[in-house]
Chains A and B, each alone.
Chain A
Amino acid sequence: MSETKKYPAPVTNPETAAFWDAAKQGKFMIKRCTACGEAHYFPRAICPFCYSDKTVWEESSGEATIYTWSLMRKSPTGPYAIAYVTLKEGPSLQTNIVDCDLEKLKIGQKVKVVFKPTDGAPLPFFTPV
């Protein structure tokens, strides 16, 4: 189903445009604060931890592990797996696990980023390694 599912194009805004521009190049970006050193997601101009405005873009490895997941079985567009994954760089984020047997997902499973097209910038998803 995930191959045929149509995803909405990101609206984007001045704060997040660089993320979506990088996504078009196949790069998955996070933000890191150079004041406190913490990485965060989704990207903000002001660090949500120390409120410094010294945040910079950083390309993520795209490597992550599944923190939790749930397979939604009652959906007009077919079953899909929502999940939180924790990036190697630290932050956890909401996503879908795609392109795999959704019945076999496990907490702790290693996954990597994969982009899916929209009518605008592509969206990041994760798939088992």
Chain B
Amino acid sequence: MTIKGKAYIAGIFEHPTRHAPDKSTAQLHAEVAKGAIEDAGLSKDDVDGYFCAGDAPGGAWPMVDYLGLNTKKLRHVDSTETGGCSYIIHLGHAAEAIAAGKCSIALITLAGKPRTGAMPPRAAGAEADFELAYGATTHNAYGMCAMRHMHDYGTTSEQLAWIKVAASHHAQYNPHAMLKDVVTVEDVLNSPMISDPLHRMDCCVVSDGGGALIVTTPEIAKSLKKPLVRLIGHGEAMKGPRGGKDLDLTYSAGIWSGPRAFEEAGITPKDIKYASIYDSFTITVLMQLEDLGFCKKGEGGKFVADGNLISGVGKLPFNTDGGGLCSNHPVNRGGMTKILEAVRQLRGEAHPKVQVKNCDLAIAHGTGGLLGVRHAASTAILERV
């Protein structure tokens, strides 16, 4: 059994806003749903599968009702919550449901407003009494990964800075990007230290907004007008300290989700023309590139240096929309925008200055939760048909 080639991404939409104090969160979900449905050339009454995560107010059933989805037709719902990579997991689950005949037109939405107001705290698990008091945040949890990676492999702040530099080179061409200025390695190193060894410019933006996808069958996709983009491999995985045995914060669950996706797709990292890699922090990108097999463990620093991630310059163009580091990290969840830019690249709809030539194979990879504590990872391999 495989989902290879059984589901196509027929509609995409990224909300242009990065600050939305005048809109409700549910409204943003509706706006991105409308955008993706229209991009596909479909109607909301065609949707028979709905996918959302923890950012959807009230969860799936209030959203299905609020969005006015056709409940006589809607026959598959999934509210898997794995933080920022939820939407990449949803993409895989939508393909599974489509392959099994459980739905034929799936809508996936993400939206929220962390820039306008504080987000509710993450729900705690059985570890609460033993961890919450120590104040793990995204910054210091990823800081701990970076600190150990530097210790074990000699990774430097300069190397991490190249990731932000590459993102900024791409963001200058995105009219919606929050940060459009091209920055240098020195700019990153001179930005204030937030949580050692991560500087402010090692961190992603906080933005309001959202995005949505329409996933459908090959037959329906071929009846529509958009360039054909299909899912050919998918993987998901989780990792945590698991009782404190053999703790190693230098790798993520991507070492499992990545190979699962590549194996299903029947390709290797060398075949990838464009990579959307989760960039909550620079260290997130570096670790994922290693874990996915774009370079050996410990060699991520060398791999990302000297512009190797800049489109038209380096060997692996990444996050050509400017990514979470410069453009958009809606609801502190970057998985959706990773898929959206990968689809734009495969369709040939990326900005001409960053469009990868003959882009036929792309990866969209994300993590959710805290890499330094507990997290999920999901990998999607997409192909232009």
Residues of chain A touching chain B, judged by Cβ–Cβ distance below 8 Å, are: 7-8, 10-12, 15-16, 20, 38, 40-42, 44, 48-49, 67-75, 80, 82-84, 86-87, 90-96, 107, 118, 123
Q: Is the CB of A48 within 8 A of B135?
A: no
Q: Is the CB of B195 within 8 A of A71?
A: yes
Q: Is the CB of A68 within 8 A of B249?
A: yes
Q: Is the CB of B373 within 8 A of A90?
A: no
> A97 vs B101: C-alpha distance in the bound complex, in angstroms?
54
A14, chain B: closest CB distance, angstroms: 12
Q: Is the CB of A95 within 8 A of B243?
A: no
B184 at the A interface (CB under 8 A)? no
Q: Is the CB of B243 within 8 A of A44?
A: yes
> A7 vs B132: C-alpha distance in the bound complex, in angstroms?
10
B157, chain A: closest CB distance, angstroms: 13
Q: Is the CB of A48 within 8 A of B129?
A: no
B132, B133, B135, B151: which contacts A68 (Cβ < 8 A)?
B151
A-facing residues in B105-139 (Cβ within 8 Å): 126-137, 139
Name which residue of chain B comes closest to A106, CB basis: B151
**A residues less than 8 Å from B135 (CB atoms):** 72, 75, 80, 82, 96
Q: Is the CB of B245 within 8 A of A96?
A: no
Q: Is the CB of B245 within 8 A of A7?
A: no
**A residues less than 8 Å from B129 (CB atoms):** 10-12, 16, 20, 42
> A42 vs B241: C-alpha distance in the bound complex, in angstroms?
10
Q: Is the CB of B245 within 8 A of A90?
A: yes
A83, chain B: closest CB distance, angstroms: 7
> A24 vs B252: C-alpha distance in the bound complex, in angstroms?
36
> A49 vs B141: C-alpha distance in the bound complex, in angstroms?
24
Interface residues on B, range: 35 or more
4 smallest beta-carbon distances between A and B, as pairs: A70-B143, A91-B244, A40-B243, A42-B130
Max chain B Cβ within 10 angstroms of own Cβ: one of A7, A42, A87, A123: A42
Q: Is the CB of A41 within 8 A of B243?
A: yes
Flag B186-210 by CB within 8 Å of A: 1 or 0 each.
0000001111111000000000000
Flag B275-296 by CB within 8 Å of A: 1 or 0 each.
0000000000000000000000
B66, chain A: closest CB distance, angstroms: 34
Flag B259-280 by CB within 8 Å of A: 1 or 0 each.
0000000000000000000000
A7, A48, A72: which contacts B242 (Cβ < 8 A)?
A48
B133, B151, B372: which contacts A7 (Cβ < 8 A)?
B133
Q: Is the CB of B133 within 8 A of A123?
A: yes
A-facing residues in B147-195 (Cβ within 8 Å): 147-148, 151, 192-195
A-facing residues in B358-381 (Cβ within 8 Å): 372-373
Name which residue of chain A comes closest to B149, CB basis: A68
> A105 vs B294: C-alpha distance in the bound complex, in angstroms?
33
Q: Is the CB of B151 within 8 A of A82?
A: no
> A86 vs B270: C-alpha distance in the bound complex, in angstroms?
38
Given contacts A74-B195, A80-B135, is CB(A92)–CB(B241) below 8 Å? yes
Max chain A Cβ within 10 angstroms of own Cβ: one of B128, B145, B194, B196: B196
A110, chain B: closest CB distance, angstroms: 16
Name which residue of chain A comes closest to B193, CB basis: A73
B10, chain A: closest CB distance, angstroms: 43
Name which residue of chain B comes closest to A74, CB basis: B194
Q: Is the CB of A91 within 8 A of B243?
A: yes
**A residues less than 8 Å from B214 (CB atoms):** none
B282, chain A: closest CB distance, angstroms: 14
Q: Is the CB of A69 within 8 A of B144?
A: yes
Q: Provide a sorted-by-A list of 12 A–B residue pairs whose CB atoms are within 8 angstroms.
A: A40-B244, A42-B126, A70-B139, A70-B141, A70-B144, A72-B139, A72-B143, A72-B194, A84-B241, A86-B247, A94-B130, A94-B134
Given contacts A38-B245, A67-B247, A68-B151, is CB(A95)–CB(B144) below 8 Å? no
B140 at the A interface (CB under 8 A)? yes
A73, chain B: closest CB distance, angstroms: 6
> A57 vs B176: C-alpha distance in the bound complex, in angstroms?
56
> A16 vs B130: C-alpha distance in the bound complex, in angstroms?
10
A15, A41, A70, A86: which contacts B147 (Cβ < 8 A)?
A70
**A residues less than 8 Å from B373 (CB atoms):** 94
Name which residue of chain B comes closest to A92, CB basis: B247
B317, chain A: closest CB distance, angstroms: 30
Q: Is the CB of A82 within 8 A of B247?
A: no
**B residues less than 8 Å from A93 (CB atoms):** 130, 241, 244
